[in-house]
Amino acid sequence: MGATWIFAGYAGTLKALMRLTAATGWVIVGEPYWRKEPVPEYLKAAGCQRETFGTHTENVETGERLGLRLVHTVISSGDDLDNYEGSLWSAASNTHLPIPTMIQTRLT
């Protein structure tokens, strides 16, 4: 599941998915997290706040507070993130495609 901002963040997304999932079903969410505390300069450059994301532990604890049980977790590597970000820049450089707003914002 992506785009957790649609449900007002990570906790809101978990709650929405819990309402849509059978009692024996699985709630699966991919969410960015802070690997270390971000410095103010990074937050300003990224256009976000510390509260925009939790740490991995905070994400797990949020699910547990809502009554979910963690079964498995996958953590992306730095290379995974580089590949993801690289694909965004590659798409932005394709003049035959409209540039998504998220990328336009990063370019300005």
Domains in the chain, number: 2
pLDDT band for 105, please (50, 70, 90 cuts).
Answer: low
Q: In 20-51, which positions are buried (b, 16+ CB within 10 angstroms) versus exposed (e)?
A: eeeeeeebeeebeeeeeebeeeeeeeeeeeee
Domain of residue 94 covers: 76-108
Whole-angstrom Cα distance, residue 86 to residue 88? 5
Residues 56 and 35 reside in one and the same domain: yes
Whole-angstrom Cα distance, residue 31 to residue 58? 11
Percent of the chain with pLDDT over 90: 50
Residues 82 and 70 reside in one and the same domain: no
Res 97 pLDDT > 80: no
Whole-angstrom Cα distance, residue 49 to residue 42? 9
Give the global pTM.
0.73
Per-residue pLDDT, averaged over 55-62, amounts to 96
Residues 64 and 34 reside in one and the same domain: yes
Per-residue pLDDT, averaged over 9-27, amounts to 93
Q: Give me the pLDDT at residue 81, please.
A: 84
